[in-house]
Structures are given as structure tokens and as C-alpha cells.
Structure 1
């Protein structure tokens, strides 16, 4: 059965180098030819959803630039239908340089996107897609907030990828049902996990999860605290693992309508992706095998 989820946010071009260890300053190293990948939080989440569901819908700006056809081909190849929010416009691609060491750790250098003037209005997008669930990653705040507001009014669950704090989350959380946070995500004046849970509760976020690499995922949902174990795997690369967790969660939440079950199953897939270099190799294998 195919589910229908809409992912709104960032699309990037990731240039990923695989090296023995992160270099010290003022050194020059040679390595193999880098992978050039289409990435970004909402984009990677859509890829994981499509892996499980055979299709996903992504709304992000790509626009006209040297990478336009590459982005189109890549998303089409992994089953992601793309609404280009910068269609027909000159648009600066977000580039990220990724250094991945032998133990799977990565360092990412990137830049923030420019302001978006979308070629499609949020109302029109939601009407066209008619999603069962929306995920936003916090980028392009005006567009994302309006999408979240419309979905909230229609009773469509809204999931937020909370990787790093952005000021727009103060307003966005008024429309969020489920927040999946990294261990580094802390709103202003929050320094502990409990303070994060309390802040989310004050915004009426129903369910909150905090991922922390290979450690247990802590959560608070419907008044209940708990944790979900993360499978132990031989890690080759962690790039995109958190994003894949979010996309898999969206699929399993629609499939089971249960927050904890969705987290458990998503953790299995996210760990599986860490066994492969890059963000596309794992798509060729069955994670349940």
C-alpha cells in the first residue's frame, strides 16, 4: 500500500570525500574521487520514504543552475516526485563539502540558503499533493510555516526535523505534532533534555524524540517517557543517517499509527544505512535481509 507524505525543505549538492582521518590545519591530502550526491534534510528523508513506499513527494527549490538536470535525474531515479519551488528561476544551489573518516564520522562545511520566492503557493501545493503527513526541516521558514499551518488546520500530522535550532522554530512549533530532534538541538534557555521536553510541551507538541548517534533514542509521547534501542552495526558512514531516520519514521508512522513502533523500525533502517559509504549505496539492498 502506498502512503502519501510531503517533505518540504532543503535540497543540496554534497561533495563527499572519504579520508583516513580529519586533517590538521595547513595540510594537503590526496584521496579518491569524491562522491557527488543530492542531499539535504528534507530531501534525504524523502529518499528514505520512497525506498520503503516506492514513492515520495518533495517540495524544495532547485531552480536553474549547473546542477539542475543532475538533481532532476537523481530524484527521479529514487522515486521522489519533485515540486521545484524555484521553477524557472535562477537559483543558487546549496553546496556542502563533506569529509568522512574511516570510522564513519563526518565534518560538513556548507552555507545557508538565500530567501525563497516560491513559484507555487503553499495552499496550491497542499491541494495538489493532498498528503497524509507533512515533514518540514525548518528551512525556507515562510513557506514551511504556512504549509504546516494549513496541514494543522486540516488535521494532517506535521513532523519536524529538528537538527539545529533556528529562530523560526518558535513559530513553527505552533503547528508541529511530532518533533524528532538531534542531541544538539536546544531552544534558547534550554540546557537539558527535560527542559527541551518542557519547552515542546508548552508548544503542545504531542510527541518528541531525541536521537544521539548509536545511543538510545529518548522520547516523550502522550505523557509517557521511554527509549528505543539503536541496532549496533559496523559503521562506514553516518552521512544522512538522521535524515533517513526521519523519512523512515514518517513511513512507519503512517503504516502503524504508533509513535514508538515507528521510532523502533526507523532506527533499524537508519542504522542499516550507516553500513554503506555515501547516501545512495544502501538503496540497492534489503534492510530486512
Structure 2
């Protein structure tokens, strides 16, 4: 009797998002108030935010399991954030202390344009009762108490990667992100960077990133893109030579693929295969809050689903093809996000959610 062999079983998609969690207080206004002025908001919502947290909830909305490695804490604000994440099916691995709390962001969305104004603190200044009065657990620290840059502060980081098929890091909590990305890369797990802005030490993280997806405002501290949005001559300049130089400079720091979003403009992609562009579908904008986080979450969800197709770790050609397909999918989800309030408003359209889920490679 001839021997039979079972076909290899592809890994079940599981994303690990590592980075910032915030609690967002969002209000819609007719216009942003000026100095010493009060305005009446049209509505109010209190919900979890932060790049990594929003990416994780995007994954679960798309039917892809998500685990979030972050610092939330046991203070009242942290409990609210943790409960909200649990309601959205995100498994939270919280490395904060019982008295720590996440940052709180205040967001004003202009009703007529969907543009948002945000006041927040990043992971280095996250709110903590008695901050500055004791060692604590470093809920708001990118280095963590007593942690050397790039060190492994907790053995749970290895366990966090168990079963994971794709990783997203947002540049916050670098003491967690760097060893997580390095270990993932060593295991052949694709690592995606949400590059919202440059943060000190980000070069250490980029060394372990496969796909870097940058915001329009991302710039290097010294080099291409440092002039930022204000110093460029319109979108043509941002997507022309300066943008290409920036993406190549980022690729030189480690990623095989670097991409940059430009709002409603095309996403520019650079890899060893050359330059490509992903067209963004037009929508009637309601709220741009969290659209970039949704873009990154949908990108890593796609890559988690195709993880079994990668020929080998660090295969630049395969990564470029997967990343381009992932971004083509992700821009449709991010556009839908812009047509609804908040980072998760799009999930209220069950028909759209079903279409997006069906479009993912399984």
C-alpha cells in the first residue's frame, strides 16, 4: 500500500501588536475653539485608542485573532481600556503595574471636514498616579525601570510570540518592541512597523522590521524627509524625489519594504523590485481619526493570513509582493474607516465587514 502524506497545515492567523494603548475622549465640533473660547460638541465618545490597540481591534474586526502586548495598568482608566479591548476580542498582555494607567488623548473632530485635532502624551509621559514619586513599573516608559536599551525585561515576551504569524510594532515601548521584533524576525515571522513619527531609538527597531508603513508626516532626524510636510511643495513634492529618498533611507535601516501613506493620495511603496503605488479609493470623509491605525491593522492582518506562503524568512521578493497586496486591501478598509466616526465606526456596517473578511486570503 502506497504511503500517504498529509499536506502541511498553514498556521492559524494570529497577530501580535506591540505598543501604545490610550483612552481617547472624542468629541465632534463645528470648529476647533480658539484661545479662551468654548464650543458645544455635537457628541461624545470614550473609547480605546493608540496605534497598536487600534491595529489589534482592526484585526479582530476582520476575523483575525489579535494579541496586544502593551502597558495599561490597574488604575481606573486602565481598567476601562482593558474591558473595552476584551469586548472587541483582543487578548491583552499587560506589563504595567497595578497602579499604572494609560495615556488619555483628547480628540476634537471637525464635523464638516472629518479632520481631527489631538492633544495627547506618548508612551514616555503616560499618566500614572504619583508619577515621579517612585519607581513604579514604567507604564509610561519606553525604557522601563532599570532596562537597558533593547534588553529583554520580561520572559513573557517569548510566550507572547507563541503561535503568532505576524507582528506589528508602533515604535512605542521600545524596551518591549525591540526584543519582540528581533525574536520574531529570528523565527521567520513578518514584522510590520507603524511609522507614525520618528522616536529616539527607532533605528534599533527598524533593524528588525520587514515592512515599514510610514505616515505622510514621518521624517528622519537627519536626512531625507527631515523638512516634513510644511517644508514641501505640495503633495507632488511629498510623493516625488523627497518621498523616494525617504523610503530608500528607511529601507537602508533594515526593512525590505518601505511605504508611505499620503491621506487620500496614493500610497508610495519601495522595495528591491522598485517603486509602486497603491491608489486609495475616494470616500465622503466623516472622520479621519485612527485611519492610519486601521491601515496598519488591515495590512498586518493580511500578512498574518499569507504567512504560510512566504518562501523563507527575509525573502525580499516574497515580502514585496505580499506587502503590496496587503496595502491594496488595507487602503479599502482605511477608506471605509474615514467614512465613519472613530477608528471602529466602520465595523457597524456588517455588510462591509463581511466583504472585507471574505477578501482576506485564507
Q: TM-score range by the shorter chain?
A: over 0.9
**CA distance in structure 1 between the partners assigned to 2:303 and 2:272 by the alignment:** 15
Task: Kindly tell me the number of residue pairs found equivalent between the two proteins.
Answer: 287
Moved more, 32-41 or 66-75: 66-75
Alignment of 1:38-53 (within 5 A): 38-53=48-63
For 2:76, what is the secondary structure of its paired residue? coil
Distance 1:54 1:220, change over 3 A: closer
Residue matched to 2:102: 93
Match for residue 337 of structure 2 among 242, 266, 273: 273
Match for residue 106 of structure 1 among 116, 129, 140: 116
For 1:175, what is the secondary structure of its paired residue? coil
- Checking the alignment, whether the CA contact within 8 Å between 2:58 and 2:344 is kept in structure 1 is no
User: Shift in Å at residue 164 of structure 1?
Assistant: 0.7
**CA distance in structure 2 between the partners assigned to 1:125 and 1:143 by the alignment:** 8
- Checking the alignment, whether the CA contact within 8 Å between 1:48 and 1:248 is kept in structure 2 is yes
**CA distance in structure 1 between the partners assigned to 2:328 and 2:46 by the alignment:** 31
- Checking the alignment, whether the CA contact within 8 Å between 1:56 and 1:81 is kept in structure 2 is yes
- Scaled by the length of structure 2, the TM-score of the pair is 0.75
- Checking the alignment, whether the CA contact within 8 Å between 2:69 and 2:160 is kept in structure 1 is no
Are 1:143 and 2:176 an aligned pair?
Answer: yes
Match for residue 134 of structure 1 among 167, 170, 178: 167
Root-mean-square deviation (CA), in Å? 1.9
Are 1:201 and 2:211 an aligned pair?
Answer: no
Match for residue 73 of structure 1 among 75, 83, 90: 83
Residue matched to 1:260: 324
User: Shift in Å at residue 217 of structure 1?
Assistant: 0.4
Residue matched to 1:190: 224
Cα deviation code 1:241-279 (max 9, x no counterpart): 000100100111233461111100000001001111123
**CA distance in structure 2 between the partners assigned to 1:213 and 1:128 by the alignment:** 33
- Scaled by the length of structure 1, the TM-score of the pair is 0.93
Cα deviation code 1:184-209 (max 9, x no counterpart): 10112223212212212322310011
Residue matched to 2:270: 220
Unmatched 5+ stretches in structure 1? none
Residue matched to 1:230: 280
User: Shift in Å at residue 33 of structure 1?
Assistant: 4.3
User: Shift in Å at residue 143 of structure 1?
Assistant: 1.4
- Checking the alignment, whether the CA contact within 8 Å between 2:219 and 2:246 is kept in structure 1 is yes
Unmatched 5+ stretches in structure 2? 1-10, 124-139, 226-241, 310-321, 357-362
For 1:268, what is the secondary structure of its paired residue? helix
Match for residue 58 of structure 1 among 46, 68, 75: 68
For 2:218, what is the secondary structure of its paired residue? coil
User: Shift in Å at residue 182 of structure 1?
Assistant: 0.4
